[in-house]
Every structure is written in C-alpha cells, then in structure tokens.
Structure 1
Amino acid sequence: MGKWLLPESLADILPAEARRIEELRRLLLDLYRTYGYELVMPPLVEYLDSLLSASGEDMDLHTFKLVDQMSGRSLGVRADMTPQVTRIDAHLLNRAGMTRLCYCGNVLHTRPRGLWATREPLQIGAELYGHAGPEADIEAVQLALESVRRAGVADCRIDLSHLGVVRAVLEADPLAAARADEIFGLLRDKDVPGLAALSAELAPATAQALQALPALYGDLDVLDRAREALPALPKIREALDMLAALARALPGIEIGVDLADVGSFHYHTGVVFAVYCGGWPNAVVRGGRYDDIGRVFGRARPATGFSLDLRELAGLLAPATASAAVRAPWGLDPTLVEAVRKLRADGQIVVQILPGHEHDQQEFVCDRELVLRDGIWQVEQLAGAEMAATPPSSTAN
C-alpha cells in the first residue's frame, strides 16, 4: 500500500477548494456575529465521560476512543461539537440570561454518516441557550436557512418534525412508555407491520396514534390531518401549533412535515429540522431543540441550534475557479519591495516569480503584471489576459 493513500472516507482538500471552504467559514462566522452569536473554540479531545454524557448511543458508536498517557483515563475525539458548547454554556460561562454561541472546527466519525459523506466534517453551527419559547426555534431555523443562502445555494427545502408529539402519546400510556426505545425504533424505520403487532399490547388510543404516525408526512396539510388522527392531548396540540407558527415564519420556503421523524429521540426534545438542497442525498443542515441536556454538566437550560459540514456545503457549489493575481519579478530593490507591499496591503494577490519558475502551475491566474515604467512600478494588463475583477491597472510607488 502506498504511503500516500488515506483511510476510507478521508480526503485531502486541494488549494482552490480549501480557499473556498475557508471563505465560507469566514462568511458564516461573520453572519452569526451579526445575529449576536459569540465564537467559542472547544478542544478536539476530551475525557470520554464528559464528551458522551450529553449524547446518546449513536454518538458513542461514532466516537474514536484513546487513552490519555498523562492521566490513564479514556479520551474521545469529538464527533459533534454541540455537547462541548453545551458544557461551556452550563459550566464555564454560567450566565443567568440568554446566551448565543457559535463554533467551527473539525470533528471525526468512526463511520461516515451518509452517502458520500466524509468521516472528518468541518462542523460549523450556532446554539441558543436560555429561552424556551418558540422565538428561539424560529431564529435557529431562519439562521440555518440564511447560512445556506449566503453560501450561494438557492434550491433548498426544509423538513420539520416535533418530538413532543410522540413523547405525549407515550406519556399517556405507561405500557407504551416502558417500551419507548422499541417504539421509537419502529417509527424511525416506519415499520407499520411492527407497530401493528405491538399495538395489540397497548391501549386502543395509543395503538391508533402509533399506527397513524408513519403516514403523517408530506406538505403542511399534515398538521390538519394530525389533529384529526391523533389524541386531543394538550402537548400534542401545543407541538402542532408550534410547527404551524414556525411554518408561518418561513414564507416562500418549501416545507415538508414528518411527524414520525424520531431519529434523534435520545437527544432532541422538541422541534427538529433538516435542510435539503438539490443534488445532494443527505441533509445539509440539521438542528432542533434539546432542552435540559446541560443537566449532566450541573445546569439544565432550554437550548436550540443547528450545525452543518462546510466541506459538504462547498461541494454543492460550482467548481472553484482560479483567482486573478498580479505577476511581479523577484528582487530586493526597495522600490519594488514597497510596491509589492502596498498592493498586498490593498488586498491584491501578488505572485513574485522566482528565477527558473516562470511557467509553474498554481491556483492563480496572473492577468496583470507589475512592471517598471519611467522609474515607477505600475500594474498593467497582460496581453491576451481576461479582465479580472480587480482594476486592470494601477500605480504603486
């Protein structure tokens, strides 16, 4: 095996693509700051019991484990940054009011989470703590959609669900509550025969609701059908009202509803959402409410947020193009050095050509050249070069 080969579902990112991903990172972090989100940077590795304490079995399976040579304790390489940010809010910041936090960093998965997915996503996201009302959920969804728009992806839709619906059905029937994990698994797989077989052991109202849930997906009319098909429990009505309010806050967006979407039932507690974009099989953005997860860190708080993989988002865009640049000769003449410095200070890309490397390949397209005319260094358009976004000529003296 060649030493240059990488493990499965891991890949190098080459210059043009790396530049675009970095530009997306800066763009989105700047966007989140305009909403009032503060940047935090958790460590890549933590003690395993801390890293997994606020997540479920699925996270445990996706987490790489190792032993700390200093303490002898088990460590984990983070597979998701949200539990770390929750720890920061609950234990380190410990603020009394609402807190908005954002983050960006690499995470590592033992297995890819979807078709074509990498095992090393570059995760970026935003979390809002301390507000239990629908306003926080609406802000999280709006910001998630704005993230995709700012990146330049126009063709997207959002799927909504609310785990309060299923939880309310189970809470009303002690027999069903005792078999919650089994029921959530059947709903996740939309196993209608399995739900029918299980329903014989449950109360009639519970059995009817569980068998109705797999069919409650589609457009927003699902909410009306759900009011007729499901028990008239206050928590169900509240959850359906919340989804209707969220839909009203998203005019012009294609919205789907799936009330049997319970894949994150061990983690999320209320509204959950996923943003899908044309041409990609996986959800580009995932998020939702996860109240009280911070309890394991000593402080239960209402919480909602979302995250996405920047590498995946960049893959939805058109192929990255080469950047226009200024070609300059190599030299230590003070006037040349100063001319190059000023151009770079103005944000221009200046590539100085070292002797013998006039025809090297690179990411940049040199459409202009720094030349000495009458004792003054100035930028001129190269013959035959396409016009760049930057001014075709300027003077640096």
Structure 2
Amino acid sequence: MPNWLLPENIADVLPSEARKIEDLRRGILDNFRLYGYELVMPPMLEYLESLLTGAGQDTDLRTFKLIDQLSGRTLGLRADMTTQVARIDAHLLNRASVTRLCYAGSVLHTRPSGLHATREPLQIGAEIYGHAGLEADAEIQELALASLALAGFSQVRLDLCHVGVLRAIIATDAAAQKDQAELHILLRAKDVPGLRIITANYATVTRDALLALPNLYGDASVIARARQLLPQLPGIIAALDELDTLIRSANRAIVTIDLADLRGYQYESGAMFAIYVAGLPNAVARGGRYDHVGEAFGRARPATGFSMDLRELSRLLPIAERKRSIRAPWGKEPGLRAKIAELRKSGEVVIQSLPGHDNDQDEFDCDRVLVQDDGSGHWILKKLA
C-alpha cells in the first residue's frame, strides 16, 4: 500500500477549503462572543470513563480507545465535545451563576455518520449552564440559526422534537419502560409494524400513543394534532407547550415538528432541534436540553446547547474568491524591506518571488507588482495585466 494513502473517510483539507473552514470558524466564534459565550478548549484525549460519562451508547461506539503507556488506563479520543464542556462547567469552573461556554475543535469517529461523512469532523458549538427555563433553549436555538445565517444560509428548516413526550407516555407502563431502548430505535426508524409487535402487551393508552408518534410529523399544526391524539398527561402538555413557544421563536426558519425523531435521546432531557439546509440530507446542526449530564461530575446543572460540523457545512459553500495580492522581488535592500513591511501592516498580502521560481498558489491572485522607480529609486506598486 502506498505510504501516502489515508484511512477511509479521513482526508487532508487543501488551501481553498481550509480557508473557507477557518473563515467560518472565526466568524461564528466571534458571534458567540457577542452573545457573551466564553471559549474553552477541552483536550483531545481523556480517560475513557470521564469521556463517556453522561454520554449514550452511540458515543461509546463512535469512540476510539487506546491504552495510556504512562498509567496503563484506557483512554478515549473524543467523539463529541458536549460532555467535556459539561465537565468543565461542573467540575472546574463551578460557578453559581449562569455560564455560557463555546468551543471549536476536531473530534474523531470510529465509523462515519453517513455515506460521505468524514470521521474527523470539526465540531463547533455553544452551551448554556445554570438556567432551567425555556429562555435558555430559545437563546441556543437563535444562536444556531444566527450561525447558519453567518455562513450564508438564508433558507433553513428547523425540525423540533421533545423527549418529554415519549417519557410521559411510558412513565406508568412497566413493560414499555423495560423496552425503552428498543422503542427509541423503532420510533427513529418510524417502524410502525415493529411498534405494533413490541406494544402488543402494553396498556391500550400507551400502545395507541406510541403508534401515533411516527405520524406526528409536519408543520406547526402537528402540535394541535398531538394535543388531540395523545393522552392529556402533564408531561405531554408541558412538552407541547414548550415546542409551541420555540416555534414562535424561530424567526424566519421553516419549522417542522417530528415527535419520533429522538436522536440523542439517551442524554437529552427536553426540547431538541435539528437544522437542515438545501443540498445536504443530514442535519447541519443539532441541539437540545441535557440537564442530567453534569450529575456524573458531581454537580447537576440545567444545560442546553448545540453543535455542528464546520467541514460538512463548508462543502456546501462556493469556492472562496482568491485574495488580491502583491508580487515583490526577493531582496534585503532596506527600502524594499521597509515597503513590504508597510504594505503588510496595512493588511496587504505581499508574496516575495524566491530566486528562480514563479509563484503558484490557489489562494492568491497577484494583480499588482512592487517595482523600483528608475527615477526616484522608491518602491512603487504597478498593476499587472
């Protein structure tokens, strides 16, 4: 095998694509700061038990494991940064007030999440800790939509769900609680025949409600249909009320409801959302409430947040325009060095041509050249044809 081949679903990022990703990262992080979010940088590597604390089985399966040669303990390469940031809030910062944190960094997956997905996403996200009210959920939803607007996506679809609906349905049915993990899989797949089989021995009200969930999908009118079809349990009423409020906070996004879309169900605890854009079948951003993750780190804190993959998002954007730049000769003559320094300080890109070589870059378009004026000896700019 040639020694330059990379593992499957792992790829280098070349200059034009790298600049798109970096411009996105900087713009989104700067916008997070305008909302009051503080940047943290969790480590790529942690002890496995810490890394998987509060995470679901999906995260465990996606996590690369290895043995630490210093301690002999099992380490994990992070597959998601959400629980890491929850650990920082609960164990390191330990603040009593509301805390807003953001992050950006690579994560690694043992398997790709989709057919053409990378196994090294560049995850960026934001989290709010310490406020249990729906105001925090609305802010996170707004921030996710604002991030996509910054990336140039004006038409997005916001898909809302709430784990409280399923949990309220099965709360009083012991058989359904025992099958919770399988029900989650069947509902995500909208496998109605499978649901009919597994719910055969459930209480009638539980069975009818579970069979209704896969069809409770569509525009905002789904909330009204759900109020009619689902039992009038306090947990269901509260969940539908919260979704109703979040719909009204969605600005110009196209809103859909899917009460069976339970991705992240294992550690989510309230309203969840996924955002879709044209040209990509998978969600570009996912978020929701996960109040119980901090408990494992010794401090239960209300929490809600979202994240997205910048590498996947950048693939949908047009190729970045080449940067106008200046070509300069190589030399150490004081006047030349001073002129180049002056131009770079003003924000110009100045590329010196090394002796015997031409410049060949994807990122830069040299439309001017620095030459020495024959009359005055000063270095001046001339336009290139």
Query: Residue 331 of structure 2 aligns to which amino acid in structure 1?
Result: G
Counterpart AA for 1:4: W
Q: Give, in whole Å, the separation in 2 of the partners of 1:65 and 1:174.
A: 36
Give the direction of change, closer, same or farther, for the CA distance of 1:327–1:10 in structure 2 (3 Å limit). Answer: same
Deviation per residue, 1:108-160 (Å, 9 max, x gap) = 00001123210001111001101111110111011001101101122321100
Residue in 2 that maps onto 1:300? 300
Q: Distance in 2 between matches of 1:276 and 1:333?
A: 55
TM-score (norm 2): 0.97
* Matching residue of 1:390: none
Count residues in correspondence. 383
One-letter amino acid of the counterpart of residue 378, structure 1: I
Residue matched to 1:233: 233
| Cα deviation, residue 359, structure 1 | 5.0
Cα deviations by residue, 1:251-287 (Å, 9 ceiling, x for unpaired) = 3210110001112211111111111110111110011
Q: 1:361, CA displacement in angstroms?
A: 4.5
- Give the C-alpha shift of residue 189 in structure 1: 1.6
1:368 deviates by 0.9
Does the aligned pair in 2 maintain the 1:115–1:282 contact within 8 Å?
no
Contact 1:153/1:316 (8 A) holds in 2: no
Q: CA deviation at 1:172?
A: 2.6
Does the 8 Å contact 1:104/1:125 carry over to 2?
A: yes
Q: CA contact under 8 A between 2:327 and 2:366: conserved in structure 1?
A: yes
Query: What CA distance in whole angstroms lies between the structure 1 residues aligned with 2:183 and 2:48?
Result: 29
| Aligned residue type for 1:69 | Q
SS at match of 1:88: helix
2:98 corresponds in structure 1 to: 98
Residues 362 and 211 of structure 1: is their aligned pair in 2 closer, same or farther, counting only changes over 3 Å?
closer
Report the alpha carbon displacement of residue 292 of structure 1 after superposing the two structures with TM.
1.6
Deviation at 1:345, TM superposition (A): 1.1
C-alpha separation between the residues in 2 aligned to 1:83 and 1:31? Answer: 23
> Residues 237 and 171 of structure 1: is their aligned pair in 2 closer, same or farther, counting only changes over 3 Å?
same
Cα contact 1:153–1:317 (8 A) shared by 2: no
Corresponding position: 1:381 with 2:383: yes
Residue equivalent to 1:315? 315
| AA of the residue aligned to 1:268 | E
Deviates more, 1:178-187 or 1:158-167: 178-187
In structure 2, do the counterparts of structure 1 residues 313 and 126 end up closer, same or farther at CA, with 3 Å as the change threshold? Answer: same
- In 2, are the aligned partners of 1:129 and 1:302 still within 8 Å (CA)? yes
Are the counterparts in 1 of residues 328 and 352 from structure 2 also a CA contact under 8 Å?
A: yes
Q: 1:86 touches 1:294 (CA, 8 Å); kept in 2?
A: yes
SS in 2 for 1:59: helix
Q: Which residue of 1 aligns with 2:351?
A: 351
Shift of 1:226: 0.1
Q: Please tell me whether the aligned partners of residues 130 and 302 of structure 2 are also in contact (alpha carbons under 8 angstroms).
A: yes
SS of 1:327 mapped into structure 2: strand
Equivalent residues of 1:368, 1:381 under 8 A apart: yes
How many percent identity over aligned positions? 58
Which residue identity is paired with 1:244? D
Letter in 1 for 2:36: G
The runs of 4+ residues in structure 1 deviating greater than 3 Å are 359-362
Structure 1 residue matching 2:41: 3-state secondary structure: coil
Secondary structure at 2:89 match in 1: helix
The answer for the alignment partner of 2:115 in structure 1 is 115
Shift in Å, 1:25: 0.9
2:176–2:199 contact (8 Å) kept in structure 1: no
Q: Distance in 2 between matches of 1:273 and 1:291?
A: 16
State the match for 1:269 in structure 2: 269
The RMSD of aligned alpha carbons is 1.1
Deviation at 1:175?
2.6
For 1:232 and 1:297, how far apart are their aligned partners in 2?
A: 35
Q: Secondary structure at the match of 2:351?
A: strand
Q: How far does residue 379 in structure 1 lie from its aligned partner after superposition?
A: 2.0
Output aligned runs, 1:352-371, within 5 Å.
Answer: 352-358=352-358, 360-371=360-371
Q: Aligned AA for 2:383? A: Q
Q: C-alpha separation between the residues in 2 aligned to 1:235 and 1:7?
A: 46
SS in 2 for 1:205: helix
Report the CA distance shift for 1:328/1:188 in structure 2 as closer, same or farther (over 3 A).
same
Q: Is the 8 A contact 1:125 1:305 kept in 2?
A: yes
For residues 102 and 252 of structure 2, the distance between their equivalents in structure 1, rounded to whole angstroms, comes to 27
Question: Which residue does 1:256 correspond to in 2?
Answer: 256
Q: Distance in 2 between matches of 1:78 and 1:284?
A: 20
Residue 389 of structure 1 aligns with which residue? none
